């Protein structure tokens, strides 16, 4: 069985500060890894994904995550956050094939203040 | 491509009533998923369709829950004899059958409140 642990339920930061949202997973099979973002009263939006290849993946809005197989982690980082990054962030894992369920962590609330 | 559409966005019902939600996936997406999200939790998988075939169901999907995708396009999720514990956000996602390796695109969800 697969599981995801997001180590911080809430992360408060000031604008322009760096941030790291931690995610660890467990799985006995090869996996795909995802980060989704959820703004208030909206659905989940895919932020970035690791499917194969380079272990460092980036999004268009400055977030990056690194797949670390030995530590079974997929932490999300941004060097300088904006007020608009305030949202709920979910890490998810699935078996490495199409048509399988995503297993989500409980989420991390990122609150950016000025 | 208008994305995954869910209807209604909000539903308030009394305990014991039946409710039905609809999901329209991204056109040409063969795969469709339902998830449930309760307050303070991540989404939990309920069921999965490939075209019209329901291929996987979670233990969370009790006998009161039924999902259909009769023509392989839109899907419905019905909850019979609703209970207060059914109050949650119900999310639908879709993914293509080709290429994209389990990348699931989510709708905005239907928020159910059972009084």
pLDDT in tens, A27-84: 888 889 999 999 987 889 999 999 888 888 888 889 999 999 999 999 999 999 999 9
Cβ–Cβ contacts within 10 Å for residue A39, how many? 12
Q: Is B115 exposed, middle or buried (0-12, 13-18, 19+ CB in 10 A)?
A: exposed
pLDDT at B69 exceeding the cut of 90: yes
Q: In a mutagenesis test of the B interface, which of A101, A103, A109 is the best target, namely the one with the most B β-carbons within 10 Å?
A: A101
- Distance between CA atoms of A25 and A71, rounded to whole angstroms? 9
Which residues of B fall below an 8 Å CB-CB distance to A?
4, 6, 31, 33, 35, 40-45, 48, 50, 55-56, 58, 91, 93, 95, 97, 100-109
Virtual torsion, Cα A15, A11, A102, B110, nearest 10 deg: -80
Q: What is the pLDDT of residue B78?
A: 97
Q: Please name the member of B48, B50, B91 whose beta carbon is closest to the beta carbon of A101.
A: B48
Q: In a mutagenesis test of the B interface, which of A102, A103, A104 is the best target, namely the one with the most B β-carbons within 10 Å?
A: A102
Beta strand extents in chain B (DSSP E only): 5-7, 10-13, 19-24, 31-37, 44-50, 53-57, 65-68, 75-79, 88-95, 105-106, 110-114
Model pLDDT for residues B88-109, shown as the tens digit of each residue: 999 999 998 777 678 899 999 9
- Distance between CA atoms of B46 and B67, rounded to whole angstroms? 10
- Distance between CA atoms of B37 and B111, rounded to whole angstroms? 9
Model pLDDT for residues A78-107, shown as the tens digit of each residue: 999 999 999 999 999 998 777 789 999 999
Q: Please name the member of B42, B95, B108 whose beta carbon is closest to the beta carbon of A43.
A: B108
pLDDT at B1 exceeding the cut of 60: no
- Distance between CA atoms of B76 and B20, rounded to whole angstroms? 7
The answer to whether the Cβ–Cβ distance between A32 and B31 falls below 8 Å is no
The answer to whether the Cβ–Cβ distance between B95 and A99 falls below 8 Å is yes
- In order of A52, A56, A60, A94, the CA distances from A64 in angstroms are 15, 7, 9, 19
Collapsing DSSP states into helix, strand and coil, what is residue A84?
helix
Residue A21's closest CA among A82, A75, A92, A80?
A: A75
Give the minimum alpha-carbon distance from B31 to chain A in angstroms, rounded to a whole number: 7
Model pLDDT for residues B22-68, shown as the tens digit of each residue: 999 999 899 999 999 998 899 999 999 999 999 988 888 889 999 99
pLDDT at B81 exceeding the cut of 80: yes
Q: Please name the member of B31, B44, B106 whose beta carbon is closest to the beta carbon of A44.
A: B106
Residue A81 and residue A16 in contact, taking contact as beta carbons nearer than 8 Å:
yes
Chain A contact set for B93 (CB, 8 A): 44, 102
- Distance between CA atoms of A66 and A54, rounded to whole angstroms? 9
Peptide bond between residue A35 and the one before it cis (omega within 30 degrees of 0): no
The answer to whether the Cβ–Cβ distance between A98 and B33 falls below 8 Å is no
């Amino acid at each position: 069985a697969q599981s995801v642990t997001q180590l911080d339920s809430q992360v408060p930061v000031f604008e322009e500060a760096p941030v790291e949202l931690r995610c660890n997973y467990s799985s006995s099979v090869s996996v795909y890894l995802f980060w989704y973002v959820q703004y208030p009263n909206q659905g989940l939006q895919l932020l970035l994904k690791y499917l194969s290849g380079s272990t460092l993946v980036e999004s268009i809005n400055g977030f990056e995550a690194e797949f670390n197989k030995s530590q079974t982690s997929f932490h999300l980082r941004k060097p300088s956050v904006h007020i608009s990054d305030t949202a709920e962030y979910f890490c998810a894992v699935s078996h490495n094939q199409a048509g399988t369920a995503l297993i989500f962590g409980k989420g991390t609330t990122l609150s950016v203040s000025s | 491509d208008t994305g995954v559409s869910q209807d209604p966005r909000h539903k308030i019902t009394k305990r014991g009533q039946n409710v039905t939600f609809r999901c329209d996936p991204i056109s040409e997406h063969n795969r469709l998923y339902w998830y449930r999200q309760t307050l303070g939790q991540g989404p939990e998988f309920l069921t999965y369709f490939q075209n019209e075939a329901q291929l996987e169901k979670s233990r969370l999907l009790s006998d009161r829950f039924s999902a259909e995708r009769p023509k392989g396009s839109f899907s419905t999720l019905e909850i019979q004899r609703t209970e207060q514990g059914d109050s949650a956000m119900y999310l639908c996602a879709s993914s293509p059958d080709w290429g994209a390796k389990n990348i699931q695109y989510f709708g905005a969800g239907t928020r159910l409140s059972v009084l």
